[in-house]
């Protein structure tokens, strides 16, 4: 079965540094991959989507890469701020149909002053 | 206005009871979902409805019965609640052709 792995341990970084989160998956590559942010007591919020034919996508301080050879996506937050502290989830649709996202377990990021 | 709203936010009940969670979206989306997030934060799809029609049922016990009276609403009824049903249940919606999900803020169900 398809598996998605994210760093299970929390990532602590200093304010101003770049945070890099990893998402690895098994078996065949999906048509696209998504990243979501989840704050305590809230639902996940969509951040970025990257398609299999895109190597990199940017949105403000966020950057996502997608390497279908390595079966890996990296999520970067540059100039990190304490407000970036949250859990970040990657999600893939292995069916290609667009309606069945499989989520990773998420990586908790804590940005310290 | 909240785009995807679900009620109640918290639900504490005893084993064997029947309970319902309601969800409404005002985004005009065609597809709605129920996801379950367990204590390890693993978020797993349960059901998906498109225009009131069930399209995904992820081998969820038949004690769970979703109902979609119209495309803006998707409710979840759970019969004979068990301890293992304790989790946070998220409702979500998406627009056809745009595969990103909009989530509600969850219903924390605790079965004692």
User: Which pair of tokens denotes residue B2?
Assistant: 């909240």
Query: Do residues A8 and A105 lie in contact, with contact meaning Cβ atoms separated by under 8 Å?
Result: yes
Q: CB distance A42–B43 less than 8 Å?
A: no
Q: What is the pLDDT of residues A15-63, one digit of tens each?
A: 999 999 999 998 777 888 999 999 999 999 999 999 888 989 999 999 9
Q: What is the pLDDT of residues B90-103, one digit of tens each?
A: 999 998 777 899 99
Q: Which pLDDT belongs to residue A96?
A: 65
CB-nearest to A43 from B40, B55, B90 is B90
Who contacts A85 (Cβ-Cβ below 8 Å, separation ≥6)?
A: A109, A110, A111
Reported confidence tier of residue A8, pLDDT bands at 50, 70, 90: confident
Reported confidence tier of residue B2, pLDDT bands at 50, 70, 90: low
Q: CB distance A102–B101 less than 8 Å?
A: no
Q: What is the pLDDT of residues B18-52, one digit of tens each?
A: 999 999 999 999 999 999 999 888 899 999 999 88
Query: Which three-class secondary structure string do you get for A16-84?
Result: CCCEEEEEEECCCCCCEEEEEEECCCCCCEEEEEEECCCCEEEECCEEEEEECCCCEEEEEECCCCHHH
Considering only alpha carbons, which residue of chain A is nearest residue B30? A99
Cα dist from A106 to A39, A102, B70, whole Å: 11, 12, 33
Q: What is the DSSP letter of B84?
A: G
CB-nearest to B103 from A44, A99, A100 is A44
Considering only alpha carbons, which residue of chain B is nearest residue A99? B99
Considering only alpha carbons, which residue of chain A is nearest residue B94? A99
**Mean pLDDT in residue range A2-15:** 90
**Residues A15, A82: Cα–Cα separation, whole Å:** 7
**Mean pLDDT in residue range A99-111:** 91
């Amino acid at each position: 079965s398809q598996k998605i792995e994210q760093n299970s341990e929390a990532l602590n970084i200093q304010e101003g540094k770049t945070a890099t989160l990893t998402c690895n998956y098994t078996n065949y590559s999906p048509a696209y991959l998504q990243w979501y942010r989840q704050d305590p007591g809230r639902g996940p919020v969509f951040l970025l989507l990257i398609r299999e034919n895109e190597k990199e996508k940017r949105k403000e301080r966020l950057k996502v890469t997608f390497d279908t050879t390595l079966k890996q996506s990296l999520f970067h937050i540059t100039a990190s701020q304490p407000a970036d502290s949250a859990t970040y989830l990657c999600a893939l649709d292995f069916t290609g149909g667009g309606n069945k996202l499989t989520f990773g377990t998420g990586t908790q990021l804590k940005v310290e002053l | 206005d909240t785009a995807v709203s679900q009620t109640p936010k918290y639900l504490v009940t005893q084993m064997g009871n029947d309970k319902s969670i309601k969800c409404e979206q005002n985004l005009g989306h065609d597809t709605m979902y129920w996801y379950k997030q367990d204590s390890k934060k693993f978020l797993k799809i349960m059901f998906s409805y498109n225009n009131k029609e069930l399209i995904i049922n992820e081998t969820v016990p038949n004690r769970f019965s979703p109902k979609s009276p119209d495309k803006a609403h998707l409710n979840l009824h759970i019969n004979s609640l068990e301890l293992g049903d304790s989790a946070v249940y998220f409702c979500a919606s998406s627009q056809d052709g745009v595969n990103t999900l909009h989530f509600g803020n969850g219903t924390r169900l605790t079965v004692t």
